[in-house]
Amino acid sequence: MADHTTQDWPFPGSRWWKFDFHTHTPASNDTPWARPGLELTPEAWLLRYMAAGIDCVAVTDHNSGAWIDPLKAAYEQMKEQAEAGSPPEGFRSLVLFPGVEISVNGGFHLLAIFDPSATTRTITDLLAAARYQGTDGDSDGVTRESPTDVLHAVFDAGGIPIPLTPIKTRDCLELTQVHENAGWTPIRSVRLWILMVCWPLSGWMVRCPRRHV
């Protein structure tokens, strides 16, 4: 019986993975499926990425993690069907990384990406810690916490922050003191500096597009 849960990789050593870091589901109000009369199921959402040959997906809705648990449940059901020998048409292995796109006080959006074991509750707790003041699934508000405090919250929750838009110089300078104030290791501070400064600059050349599949 063919193994539908993994892809053959006949070469020794490492391999390339196609990873979409920035995606939205119907939980985001700016997707086509948020309009009346349009509908997309979690299984159909997953199958669209599988058809595109994507290996890993970060689920990063606007200020919401509502679809994370349904997507994980749908994938597990599809995987069980594949292991039983009756995979849904088009099924292939796909790794889901829970995340969220946070509208941060200061005028920028921040992706927070977590380990695959994270859940909808992980995102809900993070948004509460950042004190997001707005509608779930929309960008009609921002966090009450400062950019530095939001980054603290992401790291404390076990996530990795990736800014989507350029950060004000003042905010970057404030972050140089983060490791002193919070007891962070130098390596963690360097990683944070790279994410905050290098990513927005390099994003002009290499940008992960938001995908509405």
pLDDT one-digit tens code per residue, 172-184: 545 544 444 444 4
Whether residue 80 has pLDDT greater than 50: yes
Dihedral, CA of residue 43, residue 80, residue 2 and residue 21, to nearest 10: 50
Q: What is the pLDDT of residue 188?
A: 44
pLDDT confidence of residue 184: 44
Q: Give the pLDDT of residue 58.
A: 96
Ranges of each domain in the chain: 19-202
Once rounded to an integer, what is the mean pLDDT over residues 110-120?
A: 96
pTM: 0.77
Minimum mean pLDDT range among 16-25, 39-48, 77-86, 177-186: 177-186
Between the alpha carbon of residue 27 and those of residues 30, 85, 89, 172, the distances in Å are 9, 32, 25, 31
Q: Which residues contact 165 (CB under 8 A, 6 or more apart)?
A: 107, 108, 109, 200
> Mean pLDDT across the stretch 191-202?
41
The pLDDT of residue 2 is 42
As to burial, measured by CB atoms within 10 angstroms (0-12 exposed, 13-18 middle, 19+ buried), residue 78 is buried
Query: Which pLDDT score, from 0 to 100, does residue 165 have?
Result: 65
Question: Tokens 């679809």 belong to which residue?
Answer: 67
d(CA 134, CA 140): 6
Q: Determine the residue type at 104.
A: V
Helical (H) or strand (E) element with 125: helix 120-130
Count Cβ atoms below 10 Å from residue 79 Cβ, excluding itself: 17
Q: Mean pLDDT in the chain? A: 79
Task: Write down the pLDDT at residue 117.
Answer: 96
For residue 59, which phi and psi values (nearest 5 degrees)?
A: -85, 110
Residues above pLDDT 90, as percent of the chain = 59
* Per-residue model confidence as pLDDT tens digits over 34-61: 777 678 999 999 999 999 999 999 999 9
Second CATH level (architecture) for the domain 19-202: Alpha-Beta Barrel (3.20)
